[in-house]
Structure formats: C-alpha cells, structure tokens
Amino acid sequence: QVQLVESGGGVVQPGGSLRLSCAASGFTFSTYGMHWVRQAPGKGLEWVSFIHYDGSVKYCADSVKGRFTISRDNSKNTLYLQMNSLRAEDTAVYYCAKDYGSGNYYRFDYWGQGTLVTVSS
Amino acid sequence: DIQMTQSPSSLSAFVGDRVTFTCRASQSVSSSLNWYQQKPGKAPKLLIYAASSLQSGVPSRFSGSGSGTDFTVTISSLQPEDFATYYCQQSYSTPPTFGPGTKVDIK
C-alpha cells in the first residue's frame, strides 16, 4: 500500500532554515508528480509546491517563492522541501501528497501524516 | 488565482440525515474540482475527484455534482464516521486552491 512518511519538522527561529523529507513506498515513486501542502494551526489547506515525476518542472506558491525549494531523489524514493528565510506565518503542518499522475494534475490521492514546523523565537 | 468559497462553514446533523454542502469557484473550473475529508489530527483524504467521481474505497452514500462554478456534495445517510471537515479544491489551474472547509458535526 502507498505510504508517505514526512520528517524534519521542528522549532526554528525566524530567518532560519529547515529541510523536510518525505519517504515514499508502495508505488513507483519515479513516475508520479509530488506536492507539498501545508495547514496552519486551526486553519485550512494551502498548496505549497509541486515537482514533476522526473524533477524537470517545479511550481510553487507565491507565498514561498524565492524561499522554499522542492526537490526529489528518485533513487531514494524521497521528496524534499528546503525552507529558508522562515517566517512566523510559515508555522504549519506540512504534508507531502502524491499526484494521481506524472504531471501537475493537482489531484492529491495519497497524503502523508504530516510534520509540524514551528517558527518562533 | 481562483478563489474557492464553501457554504455553510459548519452544520450540525443527526446520524441518518441527508446532508448537502456546496462549493463555488470565482471563475469556471469546468469539472476540475476535488473534495477531501479531514478528521481532527489526521491528513486529508481524497473523496471525490473530477466533480462527481468517487475515489476508490469511498462509500456510495457520498455523491458529487456540478460543473463550471458551482459544486455540491451530498451524503445520503450520515454515518458516525462522516463527522469531519470537508474541503473542495480546484485542479483547473496553477496554483491549485482550496476552499475554507465545511465542518460537519453531531447534532
């Protein structure tokens, strides 16, 4: 069965950096697009970033542009999110989510359990 | 960006009730509309895609309809496990955007 397991969350000071990982199993990781979606405490869902199955195409939300970078290592079945210049408003649970197709179909058919990032001094 | 709204923001219902809630897009998204169910402390789960197609494993008491800008989910007979928050999301254009959610709780 499909499993997505995020790690790397924690408490970081404003302006700091963090790298999230998402280990995938139960499907052919290298053939699917992948996303990061976040949810601030008590709030709704916000799409953060997308990467094509082969890493050739990436998109991200305006709110994180220039600060967050999505990447993947298909040899390790792992998705990453490098987060720099973190702000208090980046505090959220970060979910990795599988796209139903190889590109940006934006249908999130499987989700990880999430990892909490808290930006606070 | 396409803005998504949902109504009502919350509703209370009894087990066995027929429940309907809606989603509206700020511009046409054709049938590129997905619904997710989220229970407290859990990740969202894909319920309905392409406005009316049930994701594998989702009970048939759920149904979705609509196209263009207006969409609806109906639960024909509410079950205890259906109490959750439901989010719509447009997959028509980048960035994909979510509605604010409809919380369904026990009356």
Say yes or no for a CB contact (<8 Å) between B46 and A107: yes
Question: In this predicted structure, what is the pLDDT of residue B107?
Answer: 86
Res. A67: pLDDT tops 90: yes
Size of interface A-B (CB pairs under 8 A): 53
**Residues A35, A108: contact at Cβ < 8 Å?**
yes
Residue B72 contacts A where some CB pair is shorter than 8 Å: no
Q: How far is A47 from chain B (nearest CA, A)?
A: 7
Express as a percent the part of chain B with pLDDT over 90: 98
> pLDDT-derived band of residue A102, with 50, 70 and 90 as boundaries?
confident
Question: In this predicted structure, what is the pLDDT of residue B106?
Answer: 86
**Residues A70, A62: contact at Cβ < 8 Å?**
no
Mean pLDDT over residues B22-51, rounded? Answer: 98
Answer whether the bond into residue B40 is a cis peptide, omega within 30°.
Answer: no
Query: Closest to A95 (Cβ–Cβ): which among B32, B43, B91?
Result: B43
Got the DSSP string for A31-56? GS-EEEEEE-TTS-EEEEEEE-TTSS
Res. B68: pLDDT tops 90: yes
Q: How far is B35 from chain A (nearest CA, A)?
A: 10
**Mean pLDDT value across chain A:** 97
